[in-house]
Structure 1
Amino acid sequence: MAPKLGPEAMLAEWLLVETVADVRRRSEDPGARSRYELLGTAPLLRKLLIDGRPLLNTVRAARPEVRTEFRIRQWSAPEDGQHGEDPPYFLRLGGRELVGAPEDPALPKLKHFIGARVGMIRGRPLTVLEVVKYYANVEGGVHFGMPEEDAQHALSQMAPMLLGRSSGHIEILAHLGAIVVDALTPLCESILASPLIDTRMHQLNDRGFFDGHWTADHYAKAGQRR
């Protein structure tokens, strides 16, 4: 039997499934994507994970039994230059190596994931939270704003020099996106298998999904791709 909650919760489930699908698309083959397209990942991650009421927490309230496990290999400085010969770095960001494999230990709590190390800036660790907030709130993922934190100031100094030259730094959004998609896929699958419904409008049909429900379009599109 599908759980029954208010219309706001139903809307949140639809939005989470669509947002995760969008993050998945933007995270595939990041080297082939434009800086602008990669930048568009930042507001999606902010909406899912960081906003005052993260979409993930809203949806999980109705599905507390579904685990979300963030598998990230936290960044650490390379062990080269053991004799102090390397010059100091202004900014270093992790790349594809941040994406954990199934056998890697998982961070089960959202607060631990957004606090995970993904690089170094001015000699101190840089976190998932700081990276997403910078690209969403300063560089223009959501709005083009003034940097308010030390990490944002440092990142904003680098960004103009990279325009037209490299999308290497901003590709970190795609790698973080891949981690988030992996973590939230079980939640999406739970929603699609047993979505929130309104019994006044949605009736289970003989094909196993609900007529008039947003998931019907999802299954129809999935059937066309087969």
Structure 2
Amino acid sequence: MARDIGEQMILAEWLFAETLDDIRRRSQEPTSRTRYELLGIAPLLRKLLIDGTSLLDTVFAVRAEVPVEFRIRSWSAFEDRLANEGLSRYFGIGGEQIVGEADWPGIPLDEFLRTVIGVAETDDLTVKSVIRYYAHVEGGVHFGKPKEPGEPTLSSMSPMLLGHSTGQIQILAHLGQIVVDALEPVRRSIIDRPTIHKLRHPKNEQGRYLNHWTTEYLERATADQH
């Protein structure tokens, strides 16, 4: 549920923008990323979307009018749960094909988190369950024991792939791409109309707020383009 946190909203908006930019960087060219870089996407997605009071919920308290739509293709849209001769598929997880095109129908956050993007021993792997697995079991946040459906299968495969392939964990980069696209309007709204303290953040001649994080943020973005 969205909440009004007063001037702390300045900090929340800064953290939201930096988190989204971090996900953007880590999600580019997944095949060239290390497993550790990809694993780091999981806690960022958790913080942004899933935590009890997520960053998205928090910043929405002052900009609920900004549209947020996630464009994703579910596992069933491109894969069959059954292998040859009608046998249930032991394991499968989506790749870049889960990323919906710009004209793909958008869905709200709760539906996005429930979207099935794979299967493990007949158990559905949803967006939420995959994020939580990499955050809570494989070490994105905690290095823990697999408990939820599908987690034991994912956990048993990971040591065999370590040092050999990042194909399985690249799903986090594809989810990251979807999330960045969906939340870019929110980030843009924050940069264009940030929460400010009227006395501490007057505008300069360029129309930017003095002593405000967005000024440094925009200067850094401009420098990166050159």
In the superposition, the TM-score normalised over structure 1's length comes to 0.92
Identify the residue that residue 37 of structure 1 maps to in structure 2: 37
1:63-116 CA-partner distances (Å, limit 9, x unpaired): 01001110001111635988x426543210000000011110000x21111111
Structure 2 gap segments, 5+ residues each: none
Identify the residue that residue 93 of structure 2 maps to in structure 1: 93
8 Å Cα contact 1:5-1:196 kept in structure 2: no
Change (3 A) 1:113 1:196: same
Regions of 4+ moved over 4 Å: 79-82
Q: CA offset at residue 167 of structure 1?
A: 0.5
Identify the residue that residue 17 of structure 2 maps to in structure 1: 17
Q: CA offset at residue 125 of structure 1?
A: 2.2
Q: CA offset at residue 150 of structure 1?
A: 2.0
Alpha-carbon distance in structure 1 between the residues aligned to 2:125 and 2:163? 24
Structure 1 gap segments, 5+ residues each: none
Q: CA offset at residue 170 of structure 1?
A: 0.1
User: Which residue identity does 2:52 align to in structure 1?
Assistant: G
Q: CA offset at residue 45 of structure 1?
A: 0.3
Identify the residue that residue 151 of structure 1 maps to in structure 2: 150
User: Which residue identity does 1:197 align to in structure 2?
Assistant: I
Higher mean displacement: 8-17 or 73-82 = 73-82
Identify the residue that residue 129 of structure 2 maps to in structure 1: 130
Q: Provide the aligned length of Structure 1 versus Structure 2.
A: 221
SS in 2 for 1:178: helix
Alpha-carbon distance in structure 2 between the residues aligned to 1:179 and 1:67? 15
1:10-55 CA-partner distances (Å, limit 9, x unpaired): 1110000000000000000000011111000000000001111111
SS in 2 for 1:61: helix
User: Which residue identity does 2:150 align to in structure 1?
Assistant: A
